[in-house]
A and B are shown apart, each in its own frame.
Chain A
């Protein structure tokens, strides 16, 4: 049993469709920790000790958020700035997170083809996530391929939210039950709901 924590961050939760559906699924998964960061820290007063303890208590850290301006919502940045301290997460003596896994579950408004060299975003989505990837590296963590929903604004109309949300549920349960192929996920580029590396047996 891997210990999994999901950090969810969305300042406009009530306007959301895809993330709201994903959260509804995640909240029903037993045996994992789920944190709504904007609910816990509406005034951005992050409790550093408590967050560091949470990180120590879990093996897989998963951030779920909508992409805002090629980055995370601002509270996640605040969380990183405060919690990933020198001497704890990186730098001299900073090896407390070594060997743990970092994973992202992001939603993006742009279509999949926008995130190509010829699309209007010019780069694949992994390029925009490199700051987080390198953050994991600096903290001696494994960085897994992100679980991505493209075209999130029209996903409801196109019937894509429901399979993405239930895929999310399977993903979380597989990680919890050690049925998620971490090695293959670490090698992968981007994960979608129809090609999750889930094993039959742990």
Chain B
């Protein structure tokens, strides 16, 4: 127990110190974690910690990341990507493998070893690249999309590679094979190993079908069941259960867990629980990926590195050069736009965590000798360590040269800004329908599962979640939103939400629903400037109806009520400035005095002693008196003379 706590504390403190410093210096969080890992590696060695097994555990962060990526990607978008996925991704893997293989043969390796090395090094680091792209907000850019296509293809390609590598086994190494059973990907606990090929295919298809069908039809009832308990942590538990369950299923049938959860994410991308899942999994993903990067840094074998320094540095740089050239060529062929071409080229030039997986597996399968594998491990690690530097190169050198293109991109994001509606009961529902009819994109959040049920019957898209939670607002896209409409019932929560958004997202326009007069003042004090009282308009209309029924001319009734509204609004506006949320109303003397004065003026108007709001109503269309008219005519006559 004590050891686990010590280890956890060590990893956490290293990350907490190194990452903010790295971010401040503009190096990005990934490099921060890597440096933290290097910094604590001597300590870990002292404590005899098995860094590699921690790394395998932390690789689960990649699985979670792909789940999250899937959630962002609707099936339609995935289908649109198919050409790039197969063309760009396929060519990258095949061409890079071939060139690295040729280079390895030139360096004197047998063809089978060279081929295995080619496959190991052709893969890039999904963890580093996606994390960095997300951090920089480049995921939706052309380069980001192209990068993602390649990474996704690589992830799929790992599966046939795992099947193919044992065929390359060297007879002289086979004798030395120990009983160590690969890793997670190699499926130590495979369920399908003893089945025939056809049965394996059938089981694989069944597993994928289970993920798709389960994701489509089971999520909803499960979440509805969970929502009854009204416990926040249960959602997190269910989200984790889903991701781990799918990963387990995929491992059992010999598929990539990352691929499986990605698929599940895509299936759930249209679900109303998408943002809830996203905000639940996000922190786990972040922590596990951080841990993964730390272990990459900590696993560097410095003894081996110093002994072969020149050779390993040369190999690393050679690898990055080869990969960059292939990527640049493909970027031209597939017409990736301007500066994005370089993002794509420099971003994917490293080897990745799947390289670790394959290396362990190749050693276990007697394909690559251990001594070579250890060196390659260093090459992979160093290339990952250099990736943040390449991203900095992109930011500082490439982007400024394409400054014009960047400005256009910012505009596009601006246009993309959606409108978030919090609460979709009777109040928010009307707002949503009107905005949708006007052609705006809305993201609707509600944490009442009955509302969700009712709205789904009408094909209205709503996401489950409590809009007052900052993480959920983030998942719903508050960073790019242009407007937030707060239509939730709970006044206190609405005020808190206004306070939070005004503070953290001052650019967002807020329209808020107020419960009553005092709530209007609360919202005003919290910083909202567009406040709608929930029952005000309907009571005004009821009053107008009453006046009409009492025989007032409809146009007079309209103007009478309009006058009341204007008067009430200006009185509220005055009082809002005097209102102080920290002082009870009856102790706020300025507020009390002003209220008395306004009330007196209203009463006077009713008794006919002052004009009050009646003056707003009666001013128009009152004919001049006969004397006034005579004077005007006289004046006209005088002017004529």
Which A residues form the contact surface with B (CB < 8 A)?
10-16, 36, 38-40, 42-43, 109, 114, 120, 153-154, 157
CA–CA, A38 and B633, complex, Å: 30
B640 to A120, Cβ gap below 8 A? Answer: yes
A11 to B555, Cβ gap below 8 A? Answer: yes
Residue from B554, B557, B621, B637 in contact with A15 in the complex, judged by beta carbons closer than 8 Å: B621
CA–CA, A157 and B623, complex, Å: 15
- List B contacts of A15 (CB < 8 A): 621-623
A38 to B623, Cβ gap below 8 A? Answer: no
CA–CA, A161 and B213, complex, Å: 82
Top-4 shortest CB links A-B: A12-B621, A120-B636, A42-B558, A38-B555
- List B contacts of A42 (CB < 8 A): 554-555, 557-558
- List A contacts of B637 (CB < 8 A): 120
A39 to B620, Cβ gap below 8 A? Answer: no
Whether A39 contacts B633 in the complex (CB less than 8 A), given A12-B620, A15-B621, A120-B640, comes out as: no
A13 to B623, Cβ gap below 8 A? Answer: no
User: Does B163 belong to the interface (CB within 8 Å)?
Assistant: no
Which of A39, A42, A120 counts the most chain B CB atoms within 10 A?
A: A42
- List A contacts of B553 (CB < 8 A): 13-14, 36, 38-39
CA–CA, A15 and B623, complex, Å: 7
- List A contacts of B228 (CB < 8 A): none
Smallest Cβ-Cβ distance to B633: which chain A residue: A120
A153 to B624, Cβ gap below 8 A? Answer: yes
- List A contacts of B555 (CB < 8 A): 11, 13, 38-39, 42
Residue from A10, A16, A43, A114 in contact with B558 in the complex, judged by beta carbons closer than 8 Å: A43
CA–CA, A16 and B621, complex, Å: 9
Closest chain A CB from B547 CB (angstroms): 11
Smallest Cβ-Cβ distance to A73: which chain B residue: B621
- Residues of B600-641 at the interface with A, using a CB-CB cut-off of 8 Å, are 620-624, 626, 629, 633, 636-637, 640
CA–CA, A15 and B622, complex, Å: 6
CA–CA, A133 and B124, complex, Å: 80
Whether A109 contacts B620 in the complex (CB less than 8 A), given A13-B553, A13-B555, comes out as: no
Residue from B554, B557, B620, B626 in contact with A157 in the complex, judged by beta carbons closer than 8 Å: B626
Smallest Cβ-Cβ distance to B557: which chain A residue: A42
CA–CA, A40 and B622, complex, Å: 21
A109 to B554, Cβ gap below 8 A? Answer: no
Q: List 18 A-B residue pairs with CB atoms under 8 Å apart, sorted by A's residue number.
A: A11-B621, A12-B623, A13-B553, A15-B622, A16-B623, A38-B553, A38-B554, A39-B553, A42-B557, A42-B558, A43-B558, A109-B629, A114-B633, A120-B633, A153-B624, A153-B629, A154-B626, A157-B626
Whether A11 contacts B620 in the complex (CB less than 8 A), given A38-B555, A43-B558, comes out as: yes
Which of B554, B555, B629 counts the most chain A CB atoms within 10 A?
A: B555
Tally A-B pairs: CB < 8 A. Answer: 45
Smallest Cβ-Cβ distance to B637: which chain A residue: A120
User: Does B556 belong to the interface (CB within 8 Å)?
Assistant: yes
- Residues of B6-61 at the interface with A, using a CB-CB cut-off of 8 Å, are none
Smallest Cβ-Cβ distance to A17: which chain B residue: B623
CA–CA, A72 and B557, complex, Å: 22
A153 to B626, Cβ gap below 8 A? Answer: yes
B546-578 near A? 1/0 per residue, CB < 8 Å = 000000011111100000000000000000000
Smallest Cβ-Cβ distance to A9: which chain B residue: B555
Closest chain B CB from A67 CB (angstroms): 12
CA–CA, A153 and B557, complex, Å: 25
Smallest Cβ-Cβ distance to B636: which chain A residue: A120
CA–CA, A114 and B636, complex, Å: 10
Smallest Cβ-Cβ distance to B624: which chain A residue: A153
Smallest Cβ-Cβ distance to A110: which chain B residue: B633
Whether A153 contacts B558 in the complex (CB less than 8 A), given A14-B553, A114-B633, A120-B640, comes out as: no
CA–CA, A38 and B558, complex, Å: 10
- List B contacts of A14 (CB < 8 A): 553, 556
Q: Known pairs A109-B623, A153-B623. 19 more at Cβ < 8 A?
A: A11-B555, A11-B620, A11-B621, A12-B622, A13-B553, A15-B621, A38-B554, A39-B554, A42-B555, A42-B557, A42-B558, A109-B624, A109-B629, A120-B633, A120-B636, A120-B640, A153-B624, A153-B629, A154-B626
CA–CA, A9 and B554, complex, Å: 13
- List A contacts of B636 (CB < 8 A): 120
Closest chain A CB from B24 CB (angstroms): 58
Closest chain B CB from A129 CB (angstroms): 20
- List B contacts of A12 (CB < 8 A): 620-623
CA–CA, A183 and B622, complex, Å: 38
- List B contacts of A43 (CB < 8 A): 558
- List A contacts of B556 (CB < 8 A): 13-14
Closest chain A CB from B503 CB (angstroms): 39
Smallest Cβ-Cβ distance to A15: which chain B residue: B622
CA–CA, A23 and B150, complex, Å: 80
Smallest Cβ-Cβ distance to B632: which chain A residue: A120
Smallest Cβ-Cβ distance to B625: which chain A residue: A153
- List B contacts of A109 (CB < 8 A): 623-624, 629
Closest chain B CB from A77 CB (angstroms): 15
Smallest Cβ-Cβ distance to A68: which chain B residue: B621
CA–CA, A36 and B556, complex, Å: 13
Closest chain A CB from B637 CB (angstroms): 7
CA–CA, A117 and B621, complex, Å: 28
- List A contacts of B629 (CB < 8 A): 109, 153-154
CA–CA, A11 and B624, complex, Å: 15
CA–CA, A36 and B552, complex, Å: 13
Closest chain A CB from B244 CB (angstroms): 58
CA–CA, A114 and B637, complex, Å: 10
- List B contacts of A154 (CB < 8 A): 626, 629
Smallest Cβ-Cβ distance to A36: which chain B residue: B553
- Residues of B524-558 at the interface with A, using a CB-CB cut-off of 8 Å, are 553-558
- List B contacts of A114 (CB < 8 A): 633
CA–CA, A14 and B603, complex, Å: 24
CA–CA, A40 and B557, complex, Å: 12
- List B contacts of A13 (CB < 8 A): 553, 555-556
CA–CA, A43 and B554, complex, Å: 9
Closest chain A CB from B108 CB (angstroms): 86
- List A contacts of B624 (CB < 8 A): 109, 153
Closest chain B CB from A39 CB (angstroms): 5
CA–CA, A49 and B626, complex, Å: 42
Smallest Cβ-Cβ distance to B635: which chain A residue: A120
Closest chain A CB from B334 CB (angstroms): 51
Smallest Cβ-Cβ distance to A43: which chain B residue: B558
CA–CA, A42 and B547, complex, Å: 13
CA–CA, A119 and B140, complex, Å: 74
CA–CA, A138 and B485, complex, Å: 48
CA–CA, A13 and B556, complex, Å: 9
Smallest Cβ-Cβ distance to B628: which chain A residue: A153
- List A contacts of B623 (CB < 8 A): 12, 15-16, 109, 153
- List B contacts of A120 (CB < 8 A): 633, 636-637, 640
